[in-house]
Each structure stands twice: as C-alpha cells, then as structure tokens.
A and B are shown apart, each in its own frame.
Chain A
Amino acid sequence: MFRERMSRRNFLSTAGKAALSGGLLVAVGGIVSKPKVWAGGSNEATQAAKKAGGADLWRQYAGTKLIFMSENTPPSSAIKARAKEFFDLTGMEIDIRQDVLSTVQEKVGIDLKGGSDAYHLNYAQDKPMGTLFADYWADMSQFMNDPTLPQDPEGYDLDKWGYRWLDVCGKFYESSKIVALPYDNAVAVMFYRLDLFEKYTKEFEKQFGYPLVYTKDTTWKNMLDFMKFFNTGKYGVEYGYGFQGLEGWAGQLDFQRPLYAHGEWQEWDMPDQFLGTRNPGPSRWGDDQSVMTLGKMQQLYKLAHPESLSWDWSGVNNAFQTGKVAMCVNYGEFAASVEDPKQSVAAGGKVGYGMDPKGEPSWIINGKKAVNATNYGIGGIAINGNLSKDMQRAAWIFTVWATSKPLQMSVLKELGGTPTRMSVLTDPEVVKAMKRPTTMPNALTYPPILEAVKAPHVVPGPKIPKWNEYATIQCIEIGRCMQGRQGPEETAKILKKKLDTMHGV
C-alpha cells in the first residue's frame, strides 16, 4: 500500500525535508528556551514577573525558576512545603528535588564538573559534598554586602550560627571564600531508654557495682557494661547498643566517635580541622593510640547488635524505635520520630538524650584528654558556580530566605526542622521546648547538642578532597577488624599504607 502511494525518490526527498525542518525547529527552540533568566513554567510566575517593581529587592528576579537539588532531609521537605511563600515573596518558583545523599552527590557532581547548570542550588553537606565540589560553587561573600540584593538582618558572621558551622559547611581549605550558608544540622547525641535505666538500676548496681545512669561522664568502658547487662534479654530489649557502621558516611562517623574520644585522635594533623586541607600528608594510623582504640572498638562491636555493620542512622533508629536496642548514638533530627507514639515504642517520655560517650581514661596512651567525641553533618545551601551572574543573584535570594530565622523557626515548630542559626537555638520559645512536655521534640536534643558541638568535644573532619575514597577505605578495613577478620595492629598498618598511597605520600 505504501509503495503504491509514494515512490522511493519522493520518500527520500520528503524524509530529508522533514529531518531538516525538525533539526531547524530543535535549534531554534533551543535558542528560544535559553534566556539568561528563564521564566517559570506557570502563568502565576509570569504574572508576578510583570508586577515586579524595580525597587523591590526581593522581586527583582520574579518569573525565574530555581532548581534546588537536595538530600531528602526534614528541612528540605519542610521548605518544599513552603514554596508558595517563597513565590509570594519573590515571584520566583523554587523546585526542590530530593534524593538520597549518594544520588545527590552523583547528580550534582556530574552537573558541576560537566560545566552545566541543571541544578542552580546544591545541598552542601560538609564532607561528602563540600570536600569534593567546593571549588565549583560560587563565592557568596560577593553577595553578602551587595546593597542591590536582599540581606538577612542578623547577618552571616561566624557567631550567628552554631559553633563554627559556617566554617564547616561554607569554607573549604581557605577562609577567604564562603561557598555555602548553614541550613540544617545533624549532630550525633546519645539516645537511651530512660525508662529502662530507671527501672533496672538496682539490678544493674548489684551486678556492676554502680547505678545504671547515663551522664556526660559515662565512658565507652561503661558502655561495655551496659551492653553486657541488656544483652541478657531480661530487661525489656534484645541488645544494649546498636552502632551504625554501614559502609560510607554513616560508618565513617560511627568509627570516628570512639577514635576521637580517646586522646582526641584524628587521622591527620591539620592547621585547622574546621577548614581542612588539600594535602594532609602522612596519616597517623599505626600509632599506639590508634591500635589501642581499635582493639577496644572490637570489644564494643562484639557486644553490640549484630546488625551494627549494616545500619546507618535510619537502620539504628528503626531498631531503637522498635525496642530492639536500649541505646544508640543518633542524630538529633530523629527525636521527632522517636517521640511519635505512632512510630515508636519508646515514645511518651521514655527516652533520655545525652552527649556521646566519653573516652575511657585508662584506654588513652597518647597523653591527651578524654572527650565526648561529637561529630555531625552540617548541610548548607550552595550556588552552582557555572550559573550566569544574574542566576547566581537569584539563587542568593533563595539562600537568604531559606536560612533566615523566621523560616527556620516556623519549620522547627511545624515540621521538626533542624535550625542552624543561634538566634533560633537560643530563642526563649525554643529553650522552653527543650524540656518535656514539648511541642518541638527535636528541641529535646538541643541541650546535649549545644554543649557537645564545641571544643574539645567536637570533631569536624577530616575535610580533605579525597574524603569519599578515604571513608570507603576506612569503613572496609575497620569493618573487617570489627568482624574479627583482621587484628587491630594489622588494620592500622593497612590503613596507614592505603591512605598514604591515596595521597601520594
């Protein structure tokens, strides 16, 4: 039938014309759809753009659409729910795309390193993102004193945020450039079953000679006793403690806590751990303290829940909420679900929050202090450096709005956010909410957080460009040690060799 209607010559001629027209259409479409500041998809955004007055700093880029690639964290979800407010204020649309951190890392990395600008704003998680991509993000200091842009009335100085949080997520390897503003915090604190501690303190005291209480002086050695006690299964839970040694960031942070608690041990010497360094030099792995602590960690892992090497923060939270473990170190943002009776058997005042366990003085041989090693992820908002100047300015407007006190406050109240501004963390309403009964369950974790995120307890790094590779190597080798596949000394030697080779030392 086809052959009856059209000759071969006609077919080829028509197909050629169609291909040429299609190509032209695509080319013209490409030019038309790439203005410097491109309009948002909806009619509302276009109307807002028309209404925008030149004097209104917030609305100068009305009609623009911004895309923010973020981890699926509570503040991102909360801000996504408030996108309409941002639109009403600025006339700009904000499209927040959320995914697991490894996928965010992959997508943002390809975008930035490919010189592209598919994502205008990036989630700047300090170590897994910032250490790799900081050089590709725009320097925000150029916008901070610009009178033609909206500014936060509180400002952006270091003391406006949690202890050095601006340095942790906003500055990498140098102090002159600020690439991100702190936007959410996830600080590690101890979650423990206060109800079980109170109920079984006498039994515990009979066996171990001291009461079953958790304080800021509780050490990792005490943790061994707690685990032995609860692991019997007679006291309301199956295991005493659960680690979160899943390979990747969770494992790196988890192993770092006991390592730093004992003599403030870290892998590398750095002039300033909060800024990091591009060339850290030889690693400290293999020294006596590292071998000693690894040996003690083996004992701890032996008694911890057997799933410990496969759990991250969500996995261990699940075990805690379902009553499988009596204690776990987890991040403050999980208090909201732990305190929710629909999700947790530990809800209703049964949970106590404290600083992470302290180092055991008798396990320290490097002459330094025992501390309550506390680490965290401080997530910032960064602007893609591949954007045009106008788009960077538009993205700055979102950054200012998303990190402002009023927004952090309302997100905390309504959706369980994780504020970064000190003005929110010390607000009288929030301070009141730090005690039960509370309408802001995350605030219950703030007293230990505010005490622990300062020197000497806080351990921010290591901020090095090869952070992801370091974390992988470290998790694998320490994981093998924790499973008893290799001894502490052998593990420390392997780590020294591998990490030094990685840095060409």
Chain B
Amino acid sequence: MSKKDTNARELPALHRKMFGMSFYGWILMPAVILLAFITLYPCFWMIVMSLLKVSTRPGMKNEFVGLANYAGLFKDSLFLQGWVIQGKYVGISLVVEFILGFAIALFLNNLKRSANVITTIVLVPMMIAPVAVGFLYLYLFNSSFGWYYWFLRSIGILRQGSILGDMNWAVAAIIIADVWEWTPFMALIFLAGLKKVPLDQLEASKCDGAPPIRRFFDVVLPNMVSVIVIGVLIRFMDIMRYIDTIFVMTTGGPAGATKTVSYYLFDVAFRFFDLGRGAAHGFVLLLVTIIIAQAFVNIMKKKGVQR
C-alpha cells in the first residue's frame, strides 16, 4: 500500500469527532486550558480588583467600592490628559511608520542585488531591546554630547537649548525613537505582502500601458490590504501599551508632557501602588484598545477586504 493510500485512510479517523471534538482538538486541549488559565485568570482578577479599594497596609481587608475606581478615573486630569498625549503619540507614530515602512518595503522589493544583506541591515533597529533604544536616544538628544541635538541645532530647526527638557520637543523625541525602532517591522510585513502580489496582474496592467503609480494603486495596493490591516493592527495594539523608551528617556516628563495613559497606568499601579485604581485604569485601556482595533477591522471588512 502506498503512503498516499495510508494517509487517505487515516485522515478521516483523525477528524472523527469524539464528544463533539476531533482528535486534534483533544490533543490541543491541555495547551488551550493552560493558555486560558494564564490569560483569563489575571483578566478576571483585574476586573475584580478594579471594584475594590485594595488595602495599603498589612492586615487590612480590601473594601468593595463598586464602580468608584472607574468614576475616579474621569475626574483625574492626568488620566484624561494621558489620552490626549497617547493619541498624539500613537497617531503620529503609526502614520509615519506606515508611510516610511511602505516606502522601505518598495525599495527592498525592487532591489536587484544584495537584497538580503540590505534587508537584514534595515531590520536591525527592531532587534534592539526597547530599553536600549531609550538609552540610545537619551544620549543622542543630550545637549552636552548628543549628535542629534547638535545636528538639529546646526540646521536651525531647534531653537531651544534642550530637546528632552522642552514640552513640545520631548513628545517629538519619543515619536522619533519609536519610528526608528518600529518602521522596520512595518517594512518587513509590507515586504512579505509585496512578494505575494500576483505577477500576472502586474504584467497585465503593464501590457495595458498603466503607469507605475496607477499599477501601485490599482494592483499592488488592493492586493496588500489584508497585510496592511495585520501590520497596522499589530503595531497599534503594541504601541498602545508601550512605555519602555518613555521610561528611560523622559520618565513621563517634562511636566507630564510625555505621560501617556499607559505610562500613567504604570505610575498608578507600581509607583503609587493604588492597585484598585490601577486595575480600573488597565481595564479601560484594554477595552479602548479592543474597541478601536475591532472598529478598524470592521471598516476594512466593509470595504471588502476578505483575503
């Protein structure tokens, strides 16, 4: 009996349902239970904790306060300002990373020689630990010896004597660090998408006399939409919780200018140790991230992205 015949006989058996689940389902079950435990259990506790005033002294009991922690968030000016700062940080970073990432991906896709070497070099920033990137930019923006500081002053863009000590420039600084580190990630995903664009469609449009820009918008882009959705979605969810470089570069300052809502969550939970308030804060952040991500997916679905 050939190997092909054996597979043909055994595969239906493997798919046969036992208590409503296939063999594959059963062998995956322990992993699913474990995963559910390590994700759902903390999530459940976060929700429970968000309804408590967690004791600040040993021997004292936690007090049930209902939705008071949530109500408190909307009276907290740092929480509300944090959303504005987060909006700027996430929005500008994503747009710039998207544009630059696409441009780099197109460049890499059209390389005839040394494509692998150049791609590897381009990807280096995203392989560096975010804390190390924070320190790198802390030094680059330093007014005593920072190269970026010197460069920006030399070309007349920077009039202030400081980057990280100025409220506007500090926001720009954390965005620049994020863009530098994560644009390669977008480029990598878009490059994978570009490799999947059907050559026959491209050649057909070329034969029809379509100029490069038309080919990009009519052939490349429609074939890339699902990849773009995935890239932007992953990056969006990542940047929403990202505090590493901010922690190193500015600690949320100066004067709270870079205190994003996720950085403020770290403050509330692990510096103030107000765990009930921190849990409510974290849950709201999680909900907002899920809602925005879902809305984004829905919009894309409506526009016919099914691939």
A residues apposed to B, CB below 8 Å: 3, 8, 12, 19, 102, 105-106, 109-110, 113, 132, 135-136, 245-248, 251, 305-311, 318-319, 322, 324, 385, 465-466, 468-469, 472-473, 475-480, 482-483, 485, 498
Contact = CB atoms under 8 A, between A and B. Distances in A.
Interface string B141-167: 011110000000000000011101111
Nearest to A243: B165
For the complex of A and B, the 10 pairs showing the least CB-CB separation, nearest first, are A479-B255, A306-B161, A247-B253, A309-B254, A310-B165, A476-B256, A306-B162, A310-B164, A106-B270, A307-B162
A272 to B, nearest CB: 20
Contacts of B170: 310
Nearest to A247: B253
Nearest to A309: B254
B271 interface: yes
Contacts of A385: 58
B104 to A, nearest CB: 31
B251 interface: yes
Interface string B112-130: 0000000000000000000
A310 B23 CA distance: 59
Given A105-B270, A385-B58, A251 B165 contact: no
A368 to B, nearest CB: 29
A324 B301 CA distance: 57
Contact of A322 (B144, B253, B272): B144
A308 B27 CA distance: 60
A479 B253 contact: yes
Contacts of A132: 56, 273
B259 interface: yes
A503 B304 CA distance: 54
A126 B250 CA distance: 24
Contacts of A306: 143, 160-162, 165-166
A473 B267 CA distance: 11
A466 to B, nearest CB: 7
B5 interface: no
Residue picked from B27, B58, B254, most chain A C-beta under 10 Å = B254
Contacts of B27: 12
A101 B28 CA distance: 43
A472 B270 CA distance: 13
Interface string B252-270: 1111100100000001001
Interface residues of B, number: 38
A173 B274 CA distance: 20
Given A307-B162, A482-B255, A465 B270 contact: no
A40 B186 CA distance: 48
Given A306-B143, A479-B254, A466 B272 contact: yes
A246 B251 contact: yes
17 contacts: A12-B26, A110-B270, A135-B58, A247-B253, A306-B161, A307-B143, A307-B162, A307-B164, A307-B165, A309-B253, A310-B165, A310-B253, A319-B144, A322-B144, A479-B254, A483-B167, A485-B255
Contacts of A472: 78, 252, 267, 271-272
Interface in B67-102: 77-78
Contact of A310 (B58, B77, B78, B250): B250
Contacts of B144: 318-319, 322, 324
A105 B271 contact: yes
A308 B170 CA distance: 13
Given A106-B270, A132-B56, 8 more contacts: A135-B58, A246-B251, A310-B250, A310-B253, A472-B271, A475-B253, A478-B255, A483-B255
A135 B145 CA distance: 44
A478 B144 CA distance: 25
Contact of B57 (A105, A135, A324): A135
Contacts of A247: 250-256, 259
A97 to B, nearest CB: 17
Interface string B27-49: 10010000000000000000000
Given A318-B144, A322-B145, A476-B259, A310 B254 contact: yes
Contact of A245 (B254, B274, B275): B254
Given A305-B161, A310-B162, A472-B267, A109 B255 contact: no
Contacts of A318: 142, 144
B143 to A, nearest CB: 5
A3 B3 CA distance: 12
Contact of A476 (B23, B78, B145, B270): B78
A189 to B, nearest CB: 22
A181 B209 CA distance: 83
A66 B118 CA distance: 50
B13 to A, nearest CB: 8
Given A8-B23, A105-B271, A476 B255 contact: yes
